[in-house]
Amino acid sequence: MPTKPKEEVVGEVKDKNQPQMSEMLHRLFLAAIGAAAIAQEEVEALVNKLVERGELAEKDGKRILGEMKEKRKTKTADVSGEISKNVEGVLSRMNIPTKADVDALGQKINALSKKVDDLKKPQ
């Protein structure tokens, strides 16, 4: 079975043909936002039709749309938090360091480099 060409990227093997996980998650998030926007537009169109036909009072239509927008904001914040937790969990299970881990290592490397440079100086 032929294998795909691999390239070495800073200590890890990465498949050239696979999009990065962050790019896939970004696309998924944008798709979810797009779906929510389409759903909102459809509800607004339905409420507007009901108001035009006289089956729904205008103030009730505005109230319904306002409630829907508030619920969407709340749900979006909740979903965003859940996505963050899930992504962190996946990264943790895959032993992929977080930005905080990389930053902490960078600070340690800088401190050690400074100590090495201090030791190299003639006394």
Q: Buried b vs exposed e over 49-69: b needs ≥16 C-beta within 10 Å?
A: ebbeeeebeeeebeebeeeee
Domain ranges of the chain: 7-120
Q: What is the pLDDT of residue 6?
A: 47
Q: What is the pLDDT of residue 2?
A: 53
User: 112-121, pLDDT tens digit by residue?
Assistant: 999 999 998 8
- Report whether 6 contacts 15 (CB < 8 A): yes
| pLDDT, greater one: 63 or 122 | 63
User: 47-102, pLDDT tens digit by residue?
Assistant: 888 888 888 888 888 888 888 888 888 887 888 788 888 888 887 888 888 888 89
